[in-house]
Amino acid sequence: MSIDQLSIYLYVIGTGITVVVFYSYIVYLYRSEKRGEKDYEKYGKIALDDEIDSAPVESNPDSVNKNKE
Amino acid sequence: MFHWLEKNPFFFAVGVFLTIAFAGAVTILPNFAQSAQPIKGLKPYTVLQLAGRGVYIKDNCLSCHSQLIRPFKAETDRYGQYSLSGEYAYDRPFLWGSRRIGPDLHRVGNYRTPDWHANHMWEPTSVVPGSVMPAYKHQFTNIADVETAYAEAVTVKTAFNVPYGDDIKPGRAAFDAYYKAKVLPAALKIAKQMKNKDLIAQVQAGKIPEVVALVAYLDRLK
Amino acid sequence: MQSNAAMEYDYSIVKLYMWTTVIFGIVGMLIGVIIASQLAWPQLNYWLGEYGTFSRLRPIHTNVVVYGFMISGIFVGFYYSAQRVLKVSMGESKLLMTLGYLQFFLYLIAASGLVISEGMGITTSKEYAQMEWPLDILIVVIWVLWGVIMFGLIGMRREKALYISMWYYVATFLGVAMLYLFNNMEVPTQLLSGGLGAWYHSVSMYAGTNDAMVQWWWGHNAVAFVFTVPIIALIYYFLPKESGQAVYSYKLSLLSFWGLMFIYLWAGGHHLLWSTVPDWVQTMASIFSVILILPSWGSAINMLLTMKGEWNQLTDNPLIKFMVLASTFYMLSTLEGPIQAVKSVNAIAHFTDWIPGHVHDGVLGWVAFMVFATLMHSAPRVFKREIYSKSLLEAQFWIQTVAVVLYFTSMWIAGITQGMMWRAVDEYGNLMYSFIDTVNVLHPYWVIRAVGGTLYFIGLLMFAWNFFMTATAGRKLETEPQFRSPMA
């Protein structure tokens, strides 16, 4: 198989996989929210409530605080 | 899977990298070897021409001049045969340019003489009334950096197998010999064609003004 | 959380980058005005000998504006907003602070080195990658330091979820790193020649068509990862924060992120349509350029809809004006770009003034407006002072908007006029115009462009004054404003 053919196969397969992954991501985003597992829109608040001592939307267990306490 | 990716900065970064690297891998790599092939009979630039190419880059002529003739009738009528990939095989870097404030130069050697260039570089409006190109008078007094051009020739010969002769080899002694035997005579020939006494005198004194090297390069573009 | 009560975000590096943004902005745009005038009035080429010609100044203009003004502005936005969305202060890590200062000073050295070497004509000639190898190495170090700081902050963050702006910063870091490294592969000529010639000179590892492909893969994606991706990061933070409205759809912002990442990189070949690169590469570039409208408009629409129900802010807050017009210009240039990437349009548009016109409605309307908004939003928080003058900001907005419109309309007309004249033939099939005819016809448009550029520059000076006065003489603020930036 020549390199040209190889690149065509690589391209078709690669793009196919990407499209599938991308669309399943869309499905995942909306489904997980519908089921109530996740709430993506709450992350929008990270920008609004961004004082250093305000409560995080999701706390990080590995943050600097842990080392201090 | 997605949930995990959003929470792991490292693997998230890997995912982003793969996504952006995909296009480059597919478009650039496959044709790489083929695009590097020279057309039959293509000679590498002489050291004097390389020095002129250096001047072309130093004064950034590619701000305003392209070296790429596209395959349209209007372009081939104006500039000549459209450009072929193999013609650029020794162009490091490529000098296609991105804006034609002035005309294309890929085959300028076919229809402009060294004499014309000498007048044009000194005072563009003297040969092209209405030209917006600045005069490059400093090129008539600045001395071309032939040594760096020679170093470039040695480098591409060693690293990329560009077919230069055996007299192109590392070291100052080799350069000095080559300069006297090959570069100066070629420069004198161009200076004479440029019909400028001052330039001829400078070359005879062993120094090559930038404009002589530049015109040697432009004259080679055919 | 008690221990954090007295803690504050550390803005010392933000301040440094703010000043370089203003200074490089003035230098870069002043040179822009000069070279625009040189085309309209060529006698202006001779004020500084060989160092003042259009050809020497043009790369200095592009490089200072891109790597001085824009990158500084992006670093302002990063060092300001990354701390805040991660809820961690730079001051909490001595190491990160040291690296931050180091990064800034290396950046200053690299930027000055760039200006000096460009002025002397030391260049690799590749657009937006003109730096020779010693500067290339320095830039890699700066970039790696930035990456270390970014991932350092991420590592110690309190907010577990990465806000969408952080996604875009990470992508900027990775994208530029990959593209820059591959495009600047070069061999120093002293290495193999026994020490002959200039020490800083190098020769590209790629030749001809390959060099062009790699260069425009970089060139176009420098546009992607310097003019677009980090600027989207800025607007996703600063627009919601200034308006007090959360992003309209967070999910849409995630989707357009992945779409943009995948598609952008294909489009580089559209700079090489009708050239000697393989046909299929050109076709792919064309197709993907058109598809690129989707994720671009996804982001832009998301930004505009963020203002839903709060459009009244547009009338009374000049910072919102800047940001909303920025996203509008983003939509304009991401529609214009794909149009130019259609092969038949490109046949006319390529090599003409339409291309610089397109670049400038993007950078002047979108990038620079976002940078102004970023600086002005951060200034009251960083300096704890009110913005010096609202009316000055309003005036700047209108002057610069008119300037951008003058710029791109004149360049559209100039570009299409010249493109059509190059190919015009008479009834016998002979070319109708000599090349110089197609240049001289552009004079009025070049004058309009120079006027537009001058107006934009005047707006920039107003901004610089306003910013300087805010930092030094604005009314002191007791508490940090939550959303809307206070201005007198």
Q: Please write the tens of the pLDDT for every residue from B126-171.
A: 999 999 999 999 999 999 999 999 999 999 999 999 999 999 999 9
Ordered by start, the domain boundaries in chain B are 2-30, 47-220
Given a cut of 60, whether residue C117 has pLDDT beyond it is yes
* Triad B144, B147, B152: Cα angle to 5°: 110
- Which of A3, A7, A25 is facing B2, going by the closest CB pair? A25
Flag whether residue C439 sits within 8 Å of chain B, measured between CB atoms: yes
Given a cut of 80, whether residue C404 has pLDDT beyond it is yes
What is chain C's mean pLDDT, rounded?
93
Whether residue C209 and residue B85 make contact (CB cut-off 8 A), yes or no, is yes
User: Number of Cβ pairs closer than 8 Å across A and C?
Assistant: 103
Mutate to test the interface with B, among A1, A2, A3, A30 (most CBs of B within 10 A): A3
Mean pLDDT of all residues in C416-443 = 94
Tell me, what's the pLDDT at C400?
97
Tell me, what's the pLDDT at C244?
93
Q: Which residue has the higher pLDDT, C301 or C5?
A: C301
Cα–Cα distance for residue pair C204/B134, rounded to 1 Å: 29
Given a cut of 50, whether residue C274 has pLDDT beyond it is yes
Whether residue A60 and residue C155 make contact (CB cut-off 8 A), yes or no, is no
The answer to whether C203 and C187 have CB atoms below 8 angstroms apart is yes
What is chain B's mean pLDDT, rounded?
92
- Which of C54, C208, C355 is facing B134, going by the closest CB pair? C54
C186 φ/ψ angles, rounded to the nearest 5 degrees: -150, 155
Q: Subunits that touch chain B (at least 3 Cβ pairs < 8 angstroms)?
A: A, C
- Which of B24, B93, B133 is facing C265, going by the closest CB pair? B24
Given a cut of 50, whether residue C5 has pLDDT beyond it is no
CA C153 to centroid of chain Cα atoms:
24
Query: What token pair was written down for C397?
Result: 């907005």
Lowest mean pLDDT among A1-10, C170-179, C277-286, C457-466: A1-10
Flag whether residue B163 sits within 8 Å of chain C, measured between CB atoms: no
Tell me, what's the pLDDT at B1?
63
Q: Which residue of A has its CA nearest to B21?
A: A14
Whether residue C262 and residue A18 make contact (CB cut-off 8 A), yes or no, is yes
The shortest C-alpha distance from C54 to chain B (Å) reads 8
Mean pLDDT of all residues in C292-301 = 92
Query: What token pair was written down for C208?
Result: 């001809």
Number of H helices, E strands in chain B: 12, 0
Cα–Cα distance for residue pair C84/C163, rounded to 1 Å: 10
Given a cut of 80, whether residue B6 has pLDDT beyond it is no
Q: Which residue of C has its CA nearest to A46?
A: C85
* Chain C residues in contact with A32 (beta carbon < 8 A): none
A64 belongs to a structural domain: no
A26 belongs to a structural domain: yes
* Chain B residues in contact with C274 (beta carbon < 8 A): 70-72
Flag whether residue B28 sits within 8 Å of chain C, measured between CB atoms: yes
Flag whether residue A63 sits within 8 Å of chain B, measured between CB atoms: no
Given a cut of 80, whether residue C130 has pLDDT beyond it is yes
Whether residue B29 and residue A7 make contact (CB cut-off 8 A), yes or no, is yes
Q: How confident is the model at residue B180 (pLDDT cuts 50, 70, 90)?
A: very high
What residues contact residue B49 under an 8 Å CB cut-off, 6+ apart? B213, B216, B217, B220
Mutate to test the interface with B, among A5, A10, A17 (most CBs of B within 10 A): A10
Given a cut of 90, whether residue B205 has pLDDT beyond it is yes
What is chain A's mean pLDDT, rounded?
81
Mean pLDDT of all residues in C382-386 = 95
What residues contact residue C120 under an 8 Å CB cut-off, 6+ apart? none
- Which of C85, C93, C247 is facing A50, going by the closest CB pair? C85
- Which of C151, C274, C440 is facing B71, going by the closest CB pair? C274
A67 belongs to a structural domain: no
User: Number of Cβ pairs closer than 8 Å across A and B?
Assistant: 19
Q: Give the 3-state secondary structure of residue C136.
A: helix
- Of C2-6, C147-151, C259-263, the range with the highest mean pLDDT is C147-151
Domain that holds residue A29: 3-55
The shortest C-alpha distance from A2 to chain C (Å) reads 16
The domain tally of chain A equals 1
The pTM of the full predicted model, rounded to 2 decimals, is: 0.93
* Triad B194, B198, B202: Cα angle to 5°: 100
Whether residue A14 and residue B19 make contact (CB cut-off 8 A), yes or no, is no
Cα–Cα distance for residue pair C378/C80, rounded to 1 Å: 7
Flag whether residue A25 sits within 8 Å of chain B, measured between CB atoms: yes
Query: For C226-255, what is each residue's pLDDT tens digit?
Result: 889 999 999 999 999 999 999 999 999 999
Q: What is the DSSP string of C254-320?
A: HHHHHHHHHHHGGGGGGGGTTSSS-HHHHHHHHHHHHHTHHHHHHHHHHHHHHTTT-THHHHH-HHH
Given a cut of 70, whether residue C284 has pLDDT beyond it is yes
Query: For C64-112, what is each residue's pLDDT tens digit?
Result: 999 999 999 999 999 999 999 999 999 999 999 999 999 999 999 999 9
A63 belongs to a structural domain: no
- Which of B58, B89, B151 is facing C197, going by the closest CB pair? B151
The shortest C-alpha distance from B86 to chain A (Å) reads 19
Cα–Cα distance for residue pair C45/B79, rounded to 1 Å: 28
Q: Which residue has the higher pLDDT, C452 or A62?
A: C452
The shortest C-alpha distance from A69 to chain B (Å) reads 24
* Chain B residues in contact with A4 (beta carbon < 8 A): 30
In which element (H, E) is residue C204 found?
A: strand C202-204
Q: Which residue of B has its CA nearest to C196?
A: B151
Q: How confident is the model at residue A68 (pLDDT cuts 50, 70, 90)?
A: very low
Output the CATH code of domain B47-220: 1.10.760.10
Q: Whose structure tokens read 């050697």?
A: B109
CA B188 to centroid of chain Cα atoms:
21
Tell me, what's the pLDDT at C6?
56
Identify the bridge partners of residue B99 per DSSP, sorted by sequence position.
Answer: C351
Residues 296-355 of C with CB under 8 A from A: none
Alpha-carbon distance values, A26 to A12, B152, C72, C197 (Å) = 21, 53, 35, 57
Identify the bridge partners of residue C204 per DSSP, sorted by sequence position.
Answer: C186
Q: How confident is the model at residue C1 (pLDDT cuts 50, 70, 90)?
A: very low
Q: How confident is the model at residue B2 (pLDDT cuts 50, 70, 90)?
A: confident
CA C370 to centroid of chain Cα atoms:
10
A60 belongs to a structural domain: no
Flag whether residue C42 sits within 8 Å of chain B, measured between CB atoms: yes
Q: How confident is the model at residue C269 (pLDDT cuts 50, 70, 90)?
A: confident
Mean pLDDT of all residues in B21-43 = 82
Cα–Cα distance for residue pair C442/C415, rounded to 1 Å: 9
Tell me, what's the pLDDT at C140?
95
Given a cut of 50, whether residue C362 has pLDDT beyond it is yes
Tell me, what's the pLDDT at C2?
43
